[in-house]
A and B are shown apart, each in its own frame.
Chain A
């Protein structure tokens, strides 16, 4: 049996009076890439926000590395080893690329020395040479794909064991989107980081995932290995577009 790094136990969440998650249970094991699929409004982003503590779940429990983190705010969850690259990247647009990266590592200072972090930053720059080239440019002046790389690089500098990625390919040209997903794979193999990935592009996400959950209107509709999910007729018709007959 694999070791779970993240366990979500029957959580519900609401925005005001509207309940958007109705009892979600899921699990991510160490070293896995797990995809969260589903249509717009299925609750994927809300679920990620609940996990990292940006949104507090109404009921249920969330366990991260055997600790109950339910109700702990994001700023305290992140230092425990969970990084979240949020929807629309949310880089600091009026700070330089370099400063954005420093901020990613900021909660580890002064425990980890500046020198140590500068060294890690070098590995990030090596992986994303375009960021090194533009390290003194303001974040907001980067292209969408570069901003996504910056957001991922920034998250990596917090040395996460679990990386939450919310629609990393949103709004990117297909080639760049593909590159971003390749990077996700590399992150796992190079850093051993576990990844929970939310993606609109189900086919591309499944191609790099071990397992997947399909959400529909706030509930888990389906779960299984990437292969099982890819071959499921319901998924094929709804998300993969193999058949145009069914909706």
Chain B
């Protein structure tokens, strides 16, 4: 029983990170119909830039803040000068373009920082916390707290503010949104900025638990993408739930089967699930006549 709880706790932590990546995918996808396969690089950059800035003797908090800002700006640049620039391209070309961008970012990162792994000190202490026989790193608590705060803020933004409604409007009907004076291009830029910022936060909080290096974005990106698909692409809440499930399944697999099989088990579950329910666990909503 304790063992099970331990695995679930571990799963929640990695699931939380996947959730941020998945919600990042969906935020961009909903507004621009682009699947941004460079999403994982946002995490890598968040961690690596923080490490680099701390190396330049900046205090932890400031370094993290600057890293988040930097990645946000990179997200904006990516949308403004690459994605929006080739607006007429079809979504498939845009997706391939994002693969190119991700390779480019990875290349630049390995050029600047080399191929070594770096570690980042935990936000507070290395001491693990244990309750009821379950032991988790203090950093894991920080991760979960950060994830929950990010997800709550995003939920609030999208559901409760006019800005969120504008972003939603662009994803539902871009033409009608323009007639409300909303610019889909601007909203898409905002989506990239949000994904950049949240991705960077995830990358920073997870760095102390694992090591960070130029290529950690690949697997994290794929896991987050899987969660986004599993949740039914288009539905942030579904994606978050799916991400936590993915994290837990993965952790159970690693614990009860074999830790070497961790990733394989996660993807097996994904494939199995999609065979049974191709629209994902929580497929896109569609209502009535959709405007006639």
Give complex CA distance A91, B173 in Å. 8
Task: Report if A71 contacts B (CB, 8 A).
Answer: no
B272 at the interface (CB under 8 A from A): no
Instruction: Please encode chain B, from 149 to 189, with 1 for each CB lying within 8 Å of some chain A CB and 0 for all others.
Output: 00000000000001001101100110111111111100000
* In the assembled complex, B288 has its CB within 8 A of some CB on chain A: yes
Residues of chain A within 8 A (CB-CB) of B165 are: 95, 99, 102-103, 106
- A120 → chain B, closest Cβ, in Å? 15
**Complex: A79 Cα to B180 Cα, angstroms:** 8
CA–CA, A155 to B179, complex, Å?
9
Interface residues of A in 130-162 (CB under 8 A from B): 138-142, 144, 147, 154-155, 158
Q: Are B291 and A73 in contact (CB under 8 A)?
A: no
Residue of B nearest to A87 (CB): B292
Complex Cα–Cα for A154 and B165 (A): 14
Give the contact-size bracket for chain A: 35 or more
Cβ-defined partner of A106 (8 Å) among B162, B175, B288, B290: B162
* A109: contacting residue among B162, B175, B177, B291, CB under 8 A: B162
State the Cβ distance, A41 to closest chain B Cβ, in Å.
19
A31 at the interface (CB under 8 A from B): no
A92 touches B162 (CB 8 A): no
Q: Contact flags (1/0) for A67-109 with B, using CB distance below 8 Å?
A: 0000001111011000110101111111100010011101101
Asked if B88 CB lies within 8 Å of chain A CBs, one says no
With contacts defined as CB atoms under 8 Å apart, how many contacts are there between chain A and chain B in the complex?
Answer: 99
Q: List A contacts of B184 (CB < 8 A).
A: 75
Interface presence of B287 (CB below 8 A): yes
The residue in A76, A89, A103, A154 that gathers the most chain B C-beta atoms within 10 A of its C-beta is: A103
Pairwise interchain contact B181-A106, C-beta atoms closer than 8 A: yes
A93 touches B172 (CB 8 A): yes
Query: A147 contacts which chain B residues (CB < 8 A)?
Result: 289, 291-292
Contacts of A176 in B (CB 8 A): none
B182 x A90 contact (CB < 8 A): no
Question: A54 interface residue, CB < 8 Å from B?
Answer: yes
B 255-292 contacts with A by CB, 8 A: 285-292
Please state if A158 and B181 are interface contacts (CB–CB under 8 Å): yes
Some 30 contacts from A to B, beta carbons below 8 A apart, are A52-B179, A54-B175, A74-B179, A75-B181, A75-B182, A76-B183, A78-B178, A79-B181, A90-B179, A92-B168, A92-B172, A93-B288, A93-B289, A94-B285, A94-B287, A95-B168, A103-B166, A103-B177, A103-B180, A106-B162, A106-B181, A107-B180, A107-B182, A140-B288, A140-B290, A140-B291, A144-B292, A147-B289, A147-B291, A154-B180
* Residues in B lying within 8 Å of A, measured CB to CB: 162, 165-166, 168-169, 172-173, 175-184, 285-292
A94-B172, A94-B286 given; 10 more Cβ-contact pairs under 8 Å: A78-B181, A90-B175, A92-B172, A95-B169, A103-B165, A103-B169, A103-B180, A106-B180, A158-B180, A171-B292
